[in-house]
Structure 1
Amino acid sequence: MDLQHLSVALGNAALQERKNWPSNGDGRLVKATTEKILRSLERAFERGDINFALDIIEESIMMLTELSDIPFYSELIADKKHRDRTYNLKTFRETVSLRLPIYSKYIASNRPPRKLAPTPIEAQEDLPDVSKIIPAQKSAPLKFAVANGMLQLKRQSARISADDRQMVSHGRSALQDDATSIIHSLAGSNADPRFLVAFGEIRDVLAADSDVIRLGMLSVSCNSLVSRFHEQLPDIVSARLDAFDTNLSMFVSQFPDWRKFVENASSTEELSSDEIQVVFNVGQELAEKLQTNEELVDPSVPKSLKLILEAIRDPSKASKRAVFGAVRTLENLIGTIILGFGGFFGAGFAGVKDGLKASSKIAAIALILGLAANSAEALSPSAAKMVKSDWMEKAASAIKKAMES
């Protein structure tokens, strides 16, 4: 009842701000999310199965928590006052951050035992719980999620102060127009096709009003492409690319998340050219193989990963910032794959949710988990050196033991 009450209140608050709904659909997304939660909760007890009901409640809690990643919610809804069913007055932000973890903890403590998959392979007694090994995703150009049985990109909200919001909005619109114009210019030239892909993605990210770290790294990747294919570009296009890069760099520098990312990158230990080559090779192999697994992987994942890796294709010219972004992105990707799909191989894993069926997808899942485990092993030394990450080898070993069992 508390979640239903909260969802109704959030939906009404979103409607009250309808005149301020952004063109990227965030306002509609918040309202649609609350409606989806209400529909789900209404059927929670239809089956008379307590675990089915708790699954729906957990999913609803997750959807409410993820609203904080939507800029429209965090900027216009989160700090509105909300009176709960016991007449306590708090902001939506306070309610979500304080009450939802309590509900999740209660569910975890009171859920009756069950199998994690329809026909699970029992875990070895000494198999470690991989969810305790793999850390939460770090700030990086890309974050990921497994939802409805698919590996997909997870949007990161682009936070900005209220004082800078109008200036940022104007800058974003101008950059979108410039990116569109550059795409038209490139389409009529003999430039490498990756330019079109990169600028198309920049334009899309700008339109989504999110993912500022991804945007900054795409700028680095475009710079790399310009350096490699400068001779293919007409002088006028080359000049426009230089100007666009300058304007985009100034744009992302206004965001605290980008400035913090740059600061973190500068404080890391540098990798050698050979180590950077390993990072690139691991990422490329992941992207190529994920691209062929359309049953489990949204096409945007390998496409966006390849663009991030473009910035380190030439290890001798790769900046520390670009390498840091690639390593963090691969960490997030590998961890998400193992946590999201590992439940088919033993009770020590987080569990596969959202309608995956072992009978039809077990082979594809085995392939993607094996790929993630091998990638973790190969990347582990570089990640340990640059970002002091020590979980990859342990997680790779755990997933391999589970699959072998």
Structure 2
Amino acid sequence: MKPPAIKNIQTWTRLMRLEVRGLASEVGNAALALQTQWPNNGEGRKIKETSELILRLTGDAQTVGKIDEAFKQLMSSILALDSLKRLRFFNQHIGDRQLKSARHGTELFSDAINRLSVEVPRGIAQYNEQLTSEKNQKNGSPATRLRSITQPQKPGPLEYQVRRDAFAIKHRASVAPDADKANVGSARTVLLDQGRGLLLAFEQSNQDPRVTAMMREAVERLEGQHDTIALGMANIGVQSLIGVLANELPDPVIAQLRTFCVGVGMYLGQFPEWTRYAENAAMADFTSDDVDTVHAAGLELVASLRQAAPVVDDEIPRTLRWMLEAMRNPGKTSMRAVFGVIRSMENLVSIVVSTLGGWLGASNDGIKQGLTTGAKAAASIALLTAVAHLAISIAPATAGIVQTAWLVEAGKIVLAALKEK
């Protein structure tokens, strides 16, 4: 479900304060009612004290014009509420109690905390992005405005760099915590043996080329020990095609494929970057229309990237193409794939407008000359145009992701500036 647009930030903030305050009061009352059962480790008293802290933070009337202070109080309250989930006494005796409200109906205390932990920071981020956008519309050249709003690349399946005057994927080493390195190494050896055997079987058969491509990506990332999140994307894609292959492959091969996918899932769990990615993806919610929008935009992007071959390494469109297939199958797991495709697209917009956006100004300061001279100039313009259209076209699907509002604004700035060039 898409977050509604915030029409009046003062009203929204007051409503959020009232909701957070009401939840904190209910939690505190529940803890007090269980006082005789409080454990000796002090968790019962901690819950009650946290409730009282939040009531103090949200108790004073909100002063008009001091919205930043209201944001700080709200975020402090949210962090305090979220800290309760780390207490065993809360999880065992309070978290599963029901909270009733006119706005949300009946939900568990723990579910209400999870919802507010997403809703409040997302609302604040939306307001700040909107404020920045409004300021940028009034001031500065296109290049200056782009620099002020463009977000840096974020952890995702694909991150990019400029290498030898062309945009290319920036591979990142998969690093497990020291305590898990031995187990990770052993698991990787087993998975490589399984994956290579399955890949050979697929390559020698007439099976769906999509599963062969995704299995190849998974094996290559296990061999190179890099791009943990992309490995997760490939695993999601392979899992999504098992149902299609069940009627085409012998049962033992399907069993091996399932075992491989489960093993990769356990392997990924050893890497903090995958855990953080999965948590961020879980906060996003996409409809079937969002999936269709992103898929269609992705296919257009892949075609544009191939046409811009002089300045785009072939690995980018090739990898994006199989990632688009990984997100096409319904199911909760595929939502991680949708999030991954969007994040990979956002990162591409980020590096392209950061690298070529200066071209839209009065001078070419900061532009890599190898991308804007000779035969590569036309390809660079085409690429800049393509990512601008991409940024605008995927806007409906990114509404539920924090700090993505800059995309549509950047796309509009680029297209308007190119029209005037």
TM-score band by shorter chain is 0.5 to 0.7
Residue 290 of structure 1 and its aligned partner are, at CA, apart by 1.1
| Letter in structure 2 aligned against 1:401 | A
1:322 to 325, 337, 353: 337
Superposed counterparts of 1:1-400, under 5 Å: 125=141, 128-268=144-284, 270-314=285-329, 319-347=334-362, 351-353=366-368, 355-400=370-415
Partner of 2:95: none
Contact 1:374 1:396 in 2 (8 A): yes
> Cα 1:127–1:301, aligned 2, differ >3 Å: closer, same or farther?
closer
Q: SS where residue 145 of structure 1 aligns? A: strand
Partner of 1:56: none
> Cα 1:349–1:355, aligned 2, differ >3 Å: closer, same or farther?
closer
> Cα 1:324–1:125, aligned 2, differ >3 Å: closer, same or farther?
closer
Distance 1:163 1:131 in 2: 41
Distance 2:365 2:161 in 1: 13
Residue 356 of structure 1 and its aligned partner are, at CA, apart by 2.9
Show structure 2 runs of 5+ residues with no match: 1-139
Residue 147 of structure 1 and its aligned partner are, at CA, apart by 2.3
Show structure 1 runs of 5+ residues with no match: 1-123
Distance 2:350 2:147 in 1: 9
Distance 2:345 2:287 in 1: 18
Figure out how many residues of one structure are paired with residues of the other and give that number.
282
1:253-284 Cα shifts (integer Å, max 9, x gaps): 1111111111111122x121111110111112
Residue 218 of structure 1 and its aligned partner are, at CA, apart by 0.9
| Letter in structure 1 aligned against 2:219 | R
> Cα 1:272–1:165, aligned 2, differ >3 Å: closer, same or farther?
same
- The farther-off stretch of 227-236 and 146-155 is 227-236
Distance 1:221 1:354 in 2: 39
| Letter in structure 2 aligned against 1:281 | A
Contact 2:153 2:347 in 1 (8 A): yes
Distance 2:395 2:297 in 1: 11
Contact 2:308 2:380 in 1 (8 A): no
| Letter in structure 2 aligned against 1:167 | N
Residue 317 of structure 1 and its aligned partner are, at CA, apart by 7.0
Distance 2:369 2:264 in 1: 38
Contact 1:342 1:350 in 2 (8 A): no
Distance 1:164 1:231 in 2: 38
Q: SS where residue 216 of structure 2 aligns? A: helix
Q: SS where residue 359 of structure 1 aligns? A: coil
Distance 1:207 1:393 in 2: 38
Q: What is the aligned-residue RMSD (CA, Å)?
A: 2.3
Distance 1:368 1:220 in 2: 29
**Normalising by structure 1, what TM-score?**
0.65
Identity of aligned residues (%): 31
Residue 318 of structure 1 and its aligned partner are, at CA, apart by 6.3
| Letter in structure 2 aligned against 1:255 | F
- The farther-off stretch of 249-258 and 395-404 is 395-404
1:32-75 Cα shifts (integer Å, max 9, x gaps): xxxxxxxxxxxxxxxxxxxxxxxxxxxxxxxxxxxxxxxxxxxx
Contact 2:291 2:327 in 1 (8 A): yes
User: Higher Cα Rg: structure 1 or 2?
Assistant: 2
> Cα 1:322–1:246, aligned 2, differ >3 Å: closer, same or farther?
same
Partner of 1:46: none
